[in-house]
Amino acid sequence: MAIRPLVFFPDPRLRLPAVPVTAFDDTLRRLAEDLLHTVRAAPGIGITAPHVGELVRLVVLNLGSGDPVRMLANPRVLAVSGDLVSHTEGSISMPGIAEEVERPAQVRVAYQDLDGAAQEITADGLLGVCLQHEIDQLDGIFWLQRLSRLKRDRAVKRFAKLQVR
């Protein structure tokens, strides 16, 4: 198991859709474990394979506080609630930058576990936000795209200043 190098904004790979996982084997399990070690080292609470340059639909969530580690292959949103919630979001591919993002308060997601078995989860709160955030990333939607143009431009400028130091 290894900590993999991260892909950082504005790398164009962060805006490419990931392809479905088709092989549920030891290679996938190794990638999932590497993602877990990488998100812990970042530090962060969620990571996708594209964050380390692998364009496959794999998410690892490590929310902490007694919450189990979740490894989801091929996740997709089935339904969202009409209620909205704001939550501070950021990305391990853009460390030091965070903004309020508005998303549906609850989400229902279908996915496969690392053995390929079909699963479903309904989530709200931090888990619901993280699932939507990471599925966006797999769809090639970097979290900044969920911000107004003004907030996005300010976040990009702040990140550029952080990189100069």
Res 1: pLDDT: 77
Confidence of residue 64 (pLDDT cuts 50, 70, 90): confident
The DSSP-derived string for 6-61 is PP-TT-GGGGSPPBPP---SHHHHHHHHHHHHHHHHTT-SEEEGGGGT--B-EEEE
β-pairing verdict for 118-124 and 70-80 = unpaired
Res 159: pLDDT: 95
| CATH assignment at residue 54 | 3.90.45.10
Average pLDDT of span 127-139: 98
Residue 52 lies in a domain: yes
Average pLDDT of span 137-155: 96
- Average pLDDT of the residues of the chain: 96
Number of domains in the chain: 1
Cα 74 to Cα 84: distance, rounded to the nearest angstrom: 25
**Domain residue limits at 96:** 12-156
Run of H or E residues at 109: strand 106-112
Confidence of residue 25 (pLDDT cuts 50, 70, 90): very high
Residue 20 lies in a domain: yes
Residue 49 near residue 31 (C-beta atoms within 8 A)? yes
Q: Which of 33, 54, 120, 134 is catalytic?
A: 134
Residue 2 lies in a domain: no
Confidence of residue 164 (pLDDT cuts 50, 70, 90): low
Residue 46 lies in a domain: yes
Residue 67 lies in a domain: yes
Cα 118 to Cα 96: distance, rounded to the nearest angstrom: 36
- For the whole model, what pTM was predicted? 0.95
User: Does residue 66 have a pLDDT over 90?
Assistant: no
Residue 162 lies in a domain: no
Our answer to whether residue 134 is catalytic in this structure is: yes
Residue 1 lies in a domain: no
Average pLDDT of span 44-63: 97
